[in-house]
């Protein structure tokens, strides 16, 4: 069956370092992959989309890679700040505009 896996353990890093989050998937051939940020008690907020024919996408301090052979996306936040502390969700198009979300990875950036 289709499955998305994100690091279940929280990621703790020091301010100024690069945070790297992983999203692995199986039994999918998604046309694109998205990353969202979610703060406690709020709905997710869209960050980036990367398509199957793109290797890398950047937006300000964010960088996303997409390896369709490994079935993996990496999400990087460079020069991390305490305000980046949140849960980060990856999402795949599951066919027919249905979206499947991973469980998310909690990121804590310590000042």
Partner 1 sequence: DTGVSQDPRHKITKRGQNVTFRCDPISEHNRLYWYRQTLGQGPEFLTYFQNEAQLEKSRLLSDRFSAERPKGSFSTLEIQRTEQGDSAMYLCASVSLAGLNNEQFFGPGTRLTVL
Residues in contact with partner 1 by the rule CB under 8 A: 4, 32, 34, 36, 41-46, 49, 89, 91, 93-94, 96-104
Give Cβ neighbours of residue 75 (< 8 Å, ≥ 6 apart): 20, 21, 22, 23, 35, 48, 62, 63, 64, 88, 90
DSSP class of residue 78 equals S
Q: How far is the CB of 22 from partner 1 (least distance, A)?
A: 15
Q: How far is the CB of 62 from partner 1 (least distance, A)?
A: 13
DSSP 56-75: EEEETTEEEEEETTTTEEEE
Q: How far is the CB of 30 from partner 1 (least distance, A)?
A: 11
Nearer to partner 1, 31 or 79 (CB): 31
Nearer to partner 1, 16 or 46 (CB): 46
Nearer to partner 1, 14 or 98 (CB): 98
Beta bridge partners of 91: 34, 101
What is the three-class DSSP state of 79?
coil
Q: How far is the CB of 90 from partner 1 (least distance, A)?
A: 8
Nearer to partner 1, 49 or 62 (CB): 49
């Amino acid at each position: 069956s289709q499955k998305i896996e994100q690091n279940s353990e929280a990621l703790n890093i020091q301010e100024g370092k690069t945070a790297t989050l992983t999203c692995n998937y199986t039994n999918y051939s998604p046309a694109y992959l998205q990353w969202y940020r979610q703060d406690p008690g709020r709905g997710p907020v869209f960050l980036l989309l990367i398509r199957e024919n793109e290797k890398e996408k950047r937006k300000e301090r964010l960088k996303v890679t997409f390896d369709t052979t490994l079935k993996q996306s990496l999400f990087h936040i460079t020069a991390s700040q305490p305000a980046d502390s949140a849960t980060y969700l990856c999402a795949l198009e599951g066919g027919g505009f249905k979206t499947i979300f991973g469980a998310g990875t909690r990121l804590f950036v310590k000042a």
